Amino acid sequence: MHPSQRRCARCALRLGWAMPDCPDCARRPPAYDRIVAGCDYEAPADLLIRRFKGERRFALAGPLAGLILDSLAQPDAPERPPSAVLVPVPAARASLRLRGFNPAGEIARALAQATGVPLRPAWLRRVAEGPRQASLDSAARLAGVSQAYACPAPVPPCTVLLVDDVMTTGATLDAAARALRGAGASAVIGLVAMRAPAEDGGMLAQYRLP
């Protein structure tokens, strides 16, 4: 995440010089307050995600969490309140059957071990299933997860650090943040290992995510 690159201050999208504003946040303001990303989802860094998810290399959760921690250490990163908690984005049942684990959960666990921030995976649940996000365009992603998450109990008025592996359109993080805010969270900051860039014109690129 090179500091010289123009980015959206809210969603961390890398902006082209011809893009005066973030096309996604301007179109539909997200429910999260800020996104902190470890790096852009592109070669060669994308190989880490492919091996982590496709080859079940659990040890890569630590380096991916380290990328996030590096970004959190930058001067422009948001402050972490003492009451902050880590909540991973729950995986769909189809993804759990395919991989046998939740990538976001493993990264969140590594972050908790490195920082001492409490991990609260039970605060957020996946309550609706749909097609895999990697196969959908941005509009279908938004519709597919709009009601996918819920909190089984009220959430204390704290800052939730919402963890995911890759942010593409932001639909998943937005839906999860809306559920957490509706349950009582005072703020939601997304922590993602990698952020997908945009194509020219502002339409988010679709990646063949593993």
The 10s digit of each residue's pLDDT in 102-150 is 999 999 999 999 999 999 999 999 998 765 544 444 544 555 576 899 9
What single-letter amino acid sits at 109? R
Partners of residue 150 on adjacent β-strands: 125
Answer whether residue 7 is part of any domain: no
Strands, sheet with 34-40, edge to edge from the N-terminal-most edge strand: 34-40, 187-195, 159-167, 85-88
Range of the domain at 141: 25-80+88-195
Q: How far apart are CA 14 and CA 160, in angstroms?
A: 24
Q: Distance between CA 201 and CA 195 in Å, rounded?
A: 17
Averaged pLDDT, 49-63: 91
Does the residue 123 lie in any domain? yes
Q: What are phi and psi of 206, to 5 degrees?
A: -105, 125
Torsion angle in degrees (nearest 10) through CA of 98, 100, 105, 111: -120
More confident of the two residues 16 and 15 = 15
Q: Which two tokens stand for residue 207?
A: 């990646």
- Specify if 105 maps to a domain: yes
Domain count across the chain: 1
Q: Is residue 17 part of a domain?
A: no
pTM of the model: 0.87
**Cβ-count burial of 15 within 10 angstroms (0-12 exposed, 13-18 middle, 19+ buried)?**
middle
Taking residues 11-17, what's their average pLDDT? Answer: 85
